[in-house]
Amino acid sequence: MYRVLRSLLITIMIGLGMSTRGAFGAKHEVGGSQGWELSTDLDSWASAQTFRVGDQLVFKYTKGLHSVVELANKKEYDACDLSNALSSLSDGSDVVKLDKPGHKYFTCGTMGHCQGGMKLKVKVLSTDEKASPQASPSSTSSSPTISSAFYAYPPSYIMMMGLISAILLLLRW
């Protein structure tokens, strides 16, 4: 009789284990408290972050003043060439999911803002890839950020695992 329940629980556990990373990826608010603005030092902000598959970028800015344009490659990014843009968002609170490893390039679509430095490139690591060490340890001016591991295993998930383990124990499995 317990067999069905048992296999159901095991299925749930495996399912949770596989979906956790994606479901609870970190949210990176671009530019920190300053947001997606022309004056934000986006390079410094990005270098203090670790981006992983399943994480999200949240662009917050004054609607109408800026936008979020994704560029296809480094060449277009360096040249501020928006003619082949992959996508464009302009809601003022735009979420971009990082769904695969590799580089992603963003800029603002407002005339002159890309040239003015309103651009962001992120390197997205796979879920278990080790973050590369900072280029120079002396140049850490930004405040430390919360580890993405914290987001990967939130309390609710641990509680859920505990509950399932308890049930399994009760069933003398």
Q: Does 69 bind Cu ion (CB under 5 A)?
A: no
Nearer to Cu ion, 16 or 82 (CB): 82
| Tokens encoding 65 | 């003043």
Nearer to Cu ion, 108 or 152 (CB): 108
Quote the least distance from Cβ 154 to Cu ion, whole Å: 33
Quote the least distance from Cβ 16 to Cu ion, whole Å: 40
160 in helix, strand or coil? helix
For residue 167, give every residue at least 6 positions away whose Cβ sits within 8 Å of its Cβ, in sequence order, or none. 9
Cβ–Cβ < 8 Å for 69, 106: yes
The mark string for 128-157 relative to Cu ion (x by CB under 5 A, - otherwise) is ------------------------------
Interacting residues with Cu ion between 8 and 67 (CB under 5 A): 66
Cβ–Cβ < 8 Å for 37, 31: yes
Nearer to Cu ion, 13 or 80 (CB): 80
Nearer to Cu ion, 104 or 119 (CB): 119
Q: Does 118 bind Cu ion (CB under 5 A)?
A: yes
Is 30 buried (19+), middle (13-18) or exposed (0-12) by CB count in 10 A? buried
Closest C-alpha to 119, from 22, 13, 54, 45: 45
Q: Does 110 bind Cu ion (CB under 5 A)?
A: yes
Cβ–Cβ < 8 Å for 89, 107: no
* Residues of this chain that bind Cu ion (CB under 5 A): 66, 108, 110, 113, 118
